[in-house]
Structure 1
Amino acid sequence: MPSTPVLSNGGTGRGLPISCYLNSVPDSLEGIVETWNENVWLASRGGGIGTYWGNVRGIGEPVGLNGKTSGIIPFVRVMDSLTLAISQGSLRRGSAACYLDVSHPEIEEFLEIRKPSGDFNRKALNLHHGVLLTDAFMEAVRSGSSFDLVSPKDGSKRAEVDARSLFQKLVETRLQTGEPYIVFADTVNRAMPKFQRDVGLKVSTSNLCSEITLPTGRDQFGRDRTAVCCLSSLNLEKWDEWNGDKRFVEDVLRFLDNVLQDYIDRAEPEMERARYSAERERSVGLGVMGFHSFLQARGVPFEGAMAKSWNMRMFKQISAQADEASMQLAIERGACPDAADQGVMARFSCKMAIAPTASISIICGGTSACIEPIPANIYTHKTLSGSWSIKNPYLEKLLATKSKNSDAVWNSILELGGSVQHLDFLTPEEKDTFKTSFEIDQRWLLELAADRTPYIDQATSLNLFIPADVEKWDLLMLHFRAWELGIKSLYYLRSKSIQRAGFAGGVEADNSIDLRQIELDAKDYDECLACQ
């Protein structure tokens, strides 16, 4: 299933079929203004934006003869206003994320730009934000040592912080607001295609959903790159229908190659950096959805060896077939220039990225989103057309076999937030199979993510689901463990107090359960639909 921009813009002439763009801001006023201008055009044509601000020097640093900078926050705030002003084909407003290195002098203020308290002139309430964590920082967290904040201009030390305190502040901010996203920068760059790494290309940012890890900024030819995300997802719930067809993955990648070429051919002059990047690396993002639905259809709990086995089998096979398809398409259509320059036969620099699929999962019959566990076994599906109560079809089938498929049973499930753990007539294994996202031990999400990471050349939109009363130490260790396992990025931290998943513009479905009936304090996530 293609991503939303392909479905809404493909063949219409109204917009472009690209989900997201990634760019970097140079450390100059001219570069900042050029990035603003580019972002306006990109957002207006249907794409979300992920912008790296780590090159721009921090507040109070010298500029010109006698001046001092006001830092990145005022410039980020302008980007916030521009994003809010841009409409994408009247379907949804523009969405953007800003990324910053953990070593940047303004990192502590940057963590709080989405909090409504404090100086309103130094807030960006409509932007998403992410932080790039290095191995050096995580080692400092491990050892409890200090960590230097350095100028991106000259590398000089501007401040010193306690690494653990900063890490704790980062995680606590995620608990309060769901963000910032986390990208483990060194892990990502080690996994870059060798033919890109060898010429000095570097990943310095991600997109709105933290699954795209492509190089941006100045390349080996002195030209600026704005990376492009071209996405589609395979439905794992239907695994048995397509996994035996050796041409299936190749056909999907052939389709994505055609979509990417359509963008290259039709990109406007204002998108020259993005067109150039797409033409050079031809990266695409083949993802999945329906993993939890697949497991539930077979009575397999998310937490266990069988889920672990299926997870590795699926992604190993998809990755191998994607590699074969890239080579076959390179023979037919030519290798991408980045690969060809290094003598590598590859049509795509990168092939896989596991994007969130909340919207297209609904189109695919309500299968589970992405690689995530389901949020509830019954929830209210809200659209502009109305609201409907949606039941888990596999649970409904199980209840029918036990003659328990009654309104009373479903109402009891709804009252307990979509949980079945109170149903005495279910076996322990059945209860485990139908655990919801907040009931599953989050260490299993990390373990499954780590197992599939070697087979995904980009990253995964990996959400964590945390009860409101989580112990601080457990939460910190969960994030630290993600780095230890070699996971590349973390998306939202969803807690019970901010459980309701809202969608940008309120256009598409709200997949959350009806929070009024389960009496939870709700706070909306403002998600971008581009990857979904």
Structure 2
Amino acid sequence: MGFQDALYQLGLPYASAEAVEFADLAMEQLSYLAIRASATLAGERGAYDTYDGSLWQQGILPIDSISLLEKARREGDFSVNTEARLDWTPIRELIAEHGMRNSNVMAIAPTATISNIVGVSQSIEPAYQNLFVKSNLSGEFTVVNPSLVRDLKAEGLWDNVMVNDLKYFDGSVQQIDRIPSELKARYATAFEIDARWLVEAAARRQKWLDQAQSLNLYMAEPSGKKLDALYQLAWERGLKTTYYLRSLGATGAEKTASAATPAPEMAPQPQVCSIDDPDCEACQ
């Protein structure tokens, strides 16, 4: 969980080569430690029952299995980055000595619900929205992405006008002129990002996973041509699977009323949560 939050902390847009490199680096480290932990447990409690004859027993780690896939493809149908940064020799030696306690070690799940409970971005997803309404016993509160609030404050741009602009544009920063282009790129939401970046980052993770990953793809206006190109890319990059394909609804809420149509009586506006306010009931 929390991949998007990590990118915010690093100041990286999801749609960037740097974010793809970070996905690779982070997953290699997780893979290294997870496989080492399972092999260590095997030394303490024994390998799993069907270890003999497995890929683990044959010395084939996830990064090695790429070559098996490549052999099954025609030339030009496979293009995967196989770079590694860590020294995997100690891990291979540990497995050879003790085996593996777990037949399956890693998979990336959707985590939508539990990430909300923990308070981080879900799974490996880009942010779906920068603004949403949270309801509790104290009422309704408009909650803004805390990282966005932090960066807007640093730029001296966090004020009531900005809050209203964000509410008007449903949390999107792309049409707010006074927001710097760097922040617009960093806080682009799921439907504002070219889905190919999600595939590229996922391909870098997949080479370290023995199972697969829940990869939602977002396309505001899907078409047969776009979908064909996107899934072809996923296939060429060696992804085992994708998850949901999400698209935007055909209609949206009308935000203005014409002169001929009286505006309805407005309900009380939700309070705005500034995220870092210790007295904020929504945060509590």
Q: TM-score, normalised by structure 1?
A: 0.38
Q: Following TM superposition, by how much is the alpha carbon of 1:359 offset from its aligned partner in structure 2, in angstroms?
A: 1.5
Looking at structure 2, the residues matched to 383 and 486 of structure 1 have their Cα atoms a distance apart, in angstroms, of: 44
Q: Following TM superposition, by how much is the alpha carbon of 1:516 offset from its aligned partner in structure 2, in angstroms?
A: 4.8
Partner of 1:311: 23
Q: Structure 1 residues 357 and 473, CA, compared in 2 at 3 Å: closer, same or farther?
A: same
Q: Give the SS at the match of 1:421.
A: coil
Q: Structure 1 residues 404 and 384, CA, compared in 2 at 3 Å: closer, same or farther?
A: same
Partner of 2:2: 290
Count of aligned pairs between the two proteins: 214
Q: Following TM superposition, by how much is the alpha carbon of 1:309 offset from its aligned partner in structure 2, in angstroms?
A: 1.5
Q: Which residue, out of 225, 229, 239, partners 1:487?
A: 239
Q: Structure 1 residues 376 and 453, CA, compared in 2 at 3 Å: closer, same or farther?
A: same
* Contact 1:414 1:517 (C-alpha < 8 Å) held by counterparts: no
Partner of 2:12: 300
Cα RMSD between the aligned structures?
A: 2.4
Looking at structure 1, the residues matched to 248 and 40 of structure 2 have their Cα atoms a distance apart, in angstroms, of: 47
Which amino acid letter does the alignment assign opposite residue 409 of structure 1? M
Partner of 2:178: 425
Partner of 1:409: 162
Looking at structure 1, the residues matched to 42 and 23 of structure 2 have their Cα atoms a distance apart, in angstroms, of: 29
Q: Structure 1 residues 472 and 341, CA, compared in 2 at 3 Å: closer, same or farther?
A: closer
Q: Following TM superposition, by how much is the alpha carbon of 1:471 offset from its aligned partner in structure 2, in angstroms?
A: 3.6
Partner of 2:227: 475
Looking at structure 2, the residues matched to 384 and 312 of structure 1 have their Cα atoms a distance apart, in angstroms, of: 42
Q: Give the SS at the match of 1:371.
A: coil
Which amino acid letter does the alignment assign opposite residue 43 of structure 2? I
Q: Following TM superposition, by how much is the alpha carbon of 1:405 offset from its aligned partner in structure 2, in angstroms?
A: 1.3
Which amino acid letter does the alignment assign opposite residue 393 of structure 1? P
Looking at structure 1, the residues matched to 217 and 40 of structure 2 have their Cα atoms a distance apart, in angstroms, of: 37
Does residue 466 (structure 1) correspond to residue 219 (structure 2)? The answer is yes
Can you list the C-alpha shifts for 1:472-504, whole angstroms capped at 9, x where unaligned?
Answer: 3112211222112111111111110189xxxxx
Does residue 359 (structure 1) correspond to residue 113 (structure 2)? The answer is yes
Looking at structure 1, the residues matched to 171 and 254 of structure 2 have their Cα atoms a distance apart, in angstroms, of: 11
Looking at structure 1, the residues matched to 137 and 214 of structure 2 have their Cα atoms a distance apart, in angstroms, of: 26
Looking at structure 1, the residues matched to 112 and 137 of structure 2 have their Cα atoms a distance apart, in angstroms, of: 16
Does residue 372 (structure 1) correspond to residue 125 (structure 2)? The answer is yes
* Contact 2:222 2:247 (C-alpha < 8 Å) held by counterparts: no
Looking at structure 2, the residues matched to 319 and 327 of structure 1 have their Cα atoms a distance apart, in angstroms, of: 12
Looking at structure 1, the residues matched to 48 and 255 of structure 2 have their Cα atoms a distance apart, in angstroms, of: 52
Q: Give the SS at the match of 1:458.
A: coil
Q: Following TM superposition, by how much is the alpha carbon of 1:361 offset from its aligned partner in structure 2, in angstroms?
A: 1.3
Which amino acid letter does the alignment assign opposite residue 244 of structure 2? Y
Does residue 443 (structure 1) correspond to residue 155 (structure 2)? The answer is no
* Contact 1:319 1:456 (C-alpha < 8 Å) held by counterparts: yes
Q: TM-score, normalised by structure 2?
A: 0.69
* Contact 1:295 1:302 (C-alpha < 8 Å) held by counterparts: yes
| Structure 2 gaps, min length 5 | 58-98, 257-284
Does residue 348 (structure 1) correspond to residue 102 (structure 2)? The answer is yes
Q: Give the SS at the match of 1:422.
A: coil
Can you list the C-alpha shifts for 1:314-334, whole angstroms capped at 9, x where unaligned?
Answer: 000110111110100011111
Looking at structure 2, the residues matched to 453 and 435 of structure 1 have their Cα atoms a distance apart, in angstroms, of: 24
Q: Give the SS at the match of 1:438.
A: helix
Q: Following TM superposition, by how much is the alpha carbon of 1:390 offset from its aligned partner in structure 2, in angstroms?
A: 1.8
Q: Structure 1 residues 336 and 293, CA, compared in 2 at 3 Å: closer, same or farther?
A: same
Can you list the C-alpha shifts for 1:280-321, whole angstroms capped at 9, x where unaligned?
Answer: xxxxxxxxx111111112211111121112111100011011
Q: Give the SS at the match of 1:389.
A: strand
Looking at structure 2, the residues matched to 387 and 355 of structure 1 have their Cα atoms a distance apart, in angstroms, of: 30
Looking at structure 2, the residues matched to 293 and 458 of structure 1 have their Cα atoms a distance apart, in angstroms, of: 24
Partner of 2:36: 324
Higher relative CO (CA 8 A, sep ≥ 6), structure 1 or 2? Answer: 2
Which amino acid letter does the alignment assign opposite residue 249 of structure 2? S
* Contact 1:417 1:518 (C-alpha < 8 Å) held by counterparts: no
Which amino acid letter does the alignment assign opposite residue 162 of structure 2? V
Q: Following TM superposition, by how much is the alpha carbon of 1:455 offset from its aligned partner in structure 2, in angstroms?
A: 0.6
* Contact 2:149 2:158 (C-alpha < 8 Å) held by counterparts: yes
Looking at structure 2, the residues matched to 341 and 450 of structure 1 have their Cα atoms a distance apart, in angstroms, of: 27
> Which aligned pairs between 1:133-172 and structure 2 lie closer than 5 A?
none
Partner of 1:393: 146
Looking at structure 2, the residues matched to 364 and 387 of structure 1 have their Cα atoms a distance apart, in angstroms, of: 20
Partner of 1:333: 45
Looking at structure 1, the residues matched to 131 and 10 of structure 2 have their Cα atoms a distance apart, in angstroms, of: 19
| Structure 1 gaps, min length 5 | 1-288, 500-514, 520-532
Q: Structure 1 residues 385 and 486, CA, compared in 2 at 3 Å: closer, same or farther?
A: farther
* Contact 1:413 1:420 (C-alpha < 8 Å) held by counterparts: yes
Q: Give the SS at the match of 2:164.
A: helix
Q: Structure 1 residues 487 and 303, CA, compared in 2 at 3 Å: closer, same or farther?
A: same
Can you list the C-alpha shifts for 1:99-146, whole angstroms capped at 9, x where unaligned?
Answer: xxxxxxxxxxxxxxxxxxxxxxxxxxxxxxxxxxxxxxxxxxxxxxxx
Which amino acid letter does the alignment assign opposite residue 465 of structure 1? Y
Q: Following TM superposition, by how much is the alpha carbon of 1:386 offset from its aligned partner in structure 2, in angstroms?
A: 6.0
Looking at structure 2, the residues matched to 362 and 430 of structure 1 have their Cα atoms a distance apart, in angstroms, of: 24
Q: Give the SS at the match of 1:489.
A: coil
